[in-house]
Structure 1
Amino acid sequence: MEDLLNIFELDESSSSSEEEEIEMELFLPNPRNLRIPSRIENFVEITVENFTNKEFQENFRISRKTFFNLLQRLTPSLERNEGLRGRNRIPVDRQILSVLWLLATPDSYRSVGNRFNMGKSSLSTCFYRVMRALNEIAPEAICSPNLMFTDCFAGYPSSVSDIRIFRNSDIYHKFITERQNYFGYDEYIIGDKAYPVTGWCITPYIDRGRLTERQIQFNTIHARTRQVIERSFALLFGRFRRLKYLDMNRVDLIPSTIIAACTLHNICLMQPDDVFGEYVNEGFAIVNNGEDVAGREDQQNEGHIRRDYLAANL
């Protein structure tokens, strides 16, 4: 986590101030006479303030009540790590709202900056700072009902197999070396067929045309139980639609941005909203694009024995 937070250290001298951006917009050559978009003044103070609760939810993808909870939790960190030295201080609520708008929509930084009356570089700085604040509170002990994430690992901003990511995660090594601290005698996690079966990770039987009726029944119940994680990811992607195409200039910030979005996901679930189902349906259109890739049946005798025992006792 410390490594994730360290990458948010910004070189303030490398980013232009809002005044410099305005000057660039006004005086740089404009050969095609393109209209320079104007910023919206008092969007938060007037427009957002007058949003109904439904309008607030539709635009920011979280409830107003959840936003005020988030504002309370992040304000100490954002004020402590104030990074806009030498500039007019941007109110914390405007920083958070602008970042929520970025996560909830595919709008460009320039467009969102104009809406919230700030320069592109200032919006980028706000984004980094809010992501850092969310990563700081990510390790807290948050209650975990259905659909909440209790452990997240996002260390590979590229196309990497699920099993490779899992085997390089901190939680995998803890399961291997400190299994007794995580699992009781009858406790285990379940995974899809991309993962190997072990004594603490139960996966479905790989269907090569020779499954017994009992094994087919086990796979059916296993898949039904595993739907909770599919719904969790659907809700995450449905609420924060930018995650579908997370095009960022700084690739090193992608993992921390994903962790921040997962933290927001958990916070939103502490106060569920009425449009919960709509976000899940939107998200399913994204997460169901790919198909499972059958994994190899590692020679993990304990895992095979446990799976066969579970199948026999359904």
Structure 2
Amino acid sequence: MKIARWDHEGATGEGFVSEGAVIPFPDALTVAEVLRGGVAAARSLFERARQETGVPLAEVRLLAPLVPTTIRDFVAFEEHVEGVSAGVEGKSDVPAEWHEAPTFYFTNPHTVRATGDVVAVPETRRLDFELELAAVIGGVDGSTGENLDVDAAASHIFGYTVMNDWSARDLQAREMKVRLGPAKGKDFGMTLGPWIVTADELDPYLDGEGFLAVRAEVYVNGALVGEDLVSNMGWPFPELVAYAARNSVVVPGDVLGSGTVGNGGCLGELWGRGSALPPLEPGDEVRMLIEGVGEIVNVVGERVPAPAIPRARTRPRLRHR
């Protein structure tokens, strides 16, 4: 099944994508409500909905398939870490700590974009993309999503969507020198779409260790820039979900990105390997495809000026008023 949100003649629709058409959920349900109900309930809804006549997909504008409750983005591809570290530190170095646990950061759910959107950018001179697959969490009867083991975590994966974690590399590099972040280098935009494909649709791509052997590709202005198999991750998705829930909780609507695929999943990795490809500029088109899921396409918009923030003040370090 495919779950989507769309705009049709100025009205927002939420429902299924089937046979080249969009079909609203029965009972005017929303994507958020369907995620809370879980895959089994969604399948029952689909059997009801498919009896209805939908609107041709070509006549609607797809929106981001959900408004995430939170977004966690992992860094699960060793090849990506090697390439980016070479660009930043001058050598391909994967910290020993990377192997110990699947590290992630939180980013902004309020700046999610859809396929087809023009993505305005901050005042950066090193704009980059990041090609990722993301898991979307759904509801499971009787579970709070807290402190899950790997098997339980797998049952909480409702489906998958394509993710582009837009990155301003110059801003990111500056702020991460303070040993925190990324923050403003990332939170201006993230594309999710074109829809959510339920996890069972990707079962044929699972290898013997539970990794998703789906092909991922990214094109800039029509030229293939990066390609990889998602199965090159260091951890399969259920382990990412279990780690996210460790002494914590995941809830329906949470999005967990795989991190950037290797072999050219972002310009930052390619720069680390000596590529002369330029940063993205206004007007550039970025197209991402993940086998079994779909494709997202965005055009880079103009730079958006922002109010200046002054430098930190140098003041006497008083201990008492």
Shorter-chain TM-score: what band? Answer: under 0.3
More strand as a share of residues: 2
More helix as a share of residues: 1
> Normalized against structure 2, the TM-score is what?
0.25
